[in-house]
Chain A
Amino acid sequence: MIQFEGVNKWYKKYHALNNICGEVRKGEVLVVCGPSGSGKSTMIRTINRLEEIQSGTITVQGENITNPKLDINRLRAGIGFVFQQFNLFPHLSVKENIALSPIKVGGKTRQEAYEMAEALLEKVGLRSKLDEMPSNLSGGQQQRVAIARALAQQPPLILFDEPTSALDPEMVGEVLNVMKTLAADGMTMVCVTHEMNFAREVADRIWFMDQGEILEESTPAEFFNAPRHERARKFLSDIIH
């Protein structure tokens, strides 16, 4: 579903992504982990071109996304993206947040979009918050609304950029549970996360990144029990105390 071929990115002289190659298959959950500054977020943000790359190619559903003729809005409408800081639109109610893209991009009527919003909120357990403003919700609830907003695009693929890192510890579980439900439904997911239990339970594969490179690509069992790379061993011992 996603292919990286020799992808490089620099910020001035800093080599942020170093020859990234890899593939995400349909229906799989890929967890990307690594120390901060390792390029995980940059990598995931290149997939819907929130970050541009300088060389290599990225293909999403068979389409080369660096093609200058590509309709970037259509590409993005087909990829869900969940941010660390939720980024709900504070001037719109929960329902309007979810319905915005279906109305403006998906060509749905207001009523269809609101019905869809209601169904999606049901799915993330926030049916009662339909008309609430985002600022009245807790962090965990906001992130679940953000997931519902991504689902409203009916994407075959959702990217999660550290979805639980900005949350109070007691709210992490509710967001991860929603993500587990999606995984069980067969959604293709790429998750940048430090939640190693989630990785162990839900991931089909793990990429370990450091200094802009994918150092290790393995299954959770291999990665947690027998990490091959020195830096992966160090990372795991740091993070799992």
Chain B
Amino acid sequence: MIDFLQTYGLIFLVGSWPNGPLGGFAGTLLLAALGLAGAFPFALLIGIARTSSYQPIKMASTVWVYTFRSIPLIMIIFWAYFLVPVLIGMEVPPFSTALCAIIVYESAFLAEIIRAGLESLPKGQIEAARAVGLGYFQTLLSVQLPQALSNMIPSLLNQFVSTIKATSIAYIIGVQEAAFSAQQINSIELTGTLRTYLILALFYFFLCALLSRLARVLERHLQNKRLGLAA
């Protein structure tokens, strides 16, 4: 095992970097982090639009959510991979293609979490905010979102975990990330399949377990803060 890790450790960690694009575990982390960072602002807007009383905005956001929530990620990746170059008339690197697909896909799920978070607040909260003279956006920013986002943290982190795992599909269009590295090592090694994929599995496991743990800690912290227990 030590031998194996010595030989392939670097490929697991960073892929073919610095001779090629950053890959391996680092590639996965980068893809997931950029994917989530990109999806979240979109999701925020779409989630808010879903609760809007202005019909065109509400309709458009609903169509977005229903469309991308109902299509498997791999389909969106394929569409992006084959269609986008035709539309814009130039090659798009696999990493960017996968990133865009993940952003689009995750924005639909995150938006639903945000919508649910906003709608689960008691109606009296909005009424109280409007009654003291706050406008629609002030109410959203000062009263609804702070409460909704903190209520949503467990669901959001849950979605983050599933995004990290979802990035593994991107290996299919040749994106350098952890699953791609494992695939590469497996085709060099040929006999070490179990070992190779065990290491890959452990990587995903520890990363996601850590995030789940973080979700618990954050949740408790926020609960205490609301109860006024935090110093």
Q: Chain A residues near B135 (CB, 8 Å)?
A: 73
What CA separation (Å) do A50 and B228 show in the bound complex?
31
Counting chain A CB atoms within 10 Å of each CB, which of B122, B127, B131, B228 scores highest? B131
Counting chain B CB atoms within 10 Å of each CB, which of A50, A78, A90, A136 scores highest? A90
Q: Kindly identify which residue among B125, B128, B132 contacts A105, using a CB–CB cutoff of 8 Å.
A: B132
Q: Chain A residues near B130 (CB, 8 Å)?
A: 50, 73, 76
How would you classify the secondary structure of chain B's contact residues: helix, strand, loop or mixed? helix
How would you classify the secondary structure of chain A's contact residues: helix, strand, loop or mixed? loop
What CA separation (Å) do A133 and B143 show in the bound complex?
15
Interface residues of A in 75-120 (CB under 8 A from B): 76-79, 81, 83, 85, 87-91, 100-101, 104-105
Q: Chain B residues near A77 (CB, 8 Å)?
A: 132-133
Interface residues of A in 35-80 (CB under 8 A from B): 48, 50, 73-74, 76-79
Q: Chain A residues near B150 (CB, 8 Å)?
A: 91
Chain A residues with a Cβ closer than 8 Å to the other chain, count: 27
A50 adjacent to B227 (CB under 8 Å): no
Could you tell me the distance in whole angstroms from the C-beta of A167 to the nearest C-beta in chain B? 16
B134 adjacent to A91 (CB under 8 Å): no
A87 adjacent to B228 (CB under 8 Å): no
Q: Chain A residues near B132 (CB, 8 Å)?
A: 76-77, 81, 100-101, 105, 149-150, 153
A135 adjacent to B227 (CB under 8 Å): yes
A83 and B128 in contact, given A91-B146, A133-B226 (Cβ under 8 angstroms)? yes
What CA separation (Å) do A132 and B143 show in the bound complex?
18
Other 17 A-B pairs with CB < 8 A, given A73-B130, A81-B132, A91-B150? A50-B130, A73-B135, A76-B131, A76-B132, A77-B132, A81-B131, A85-B124, A87-B122, A89-B125, A91-B146, A91-B226, A105-B133, A105-B134, A133-B228, A135-B226, A135-B227, A136-B227
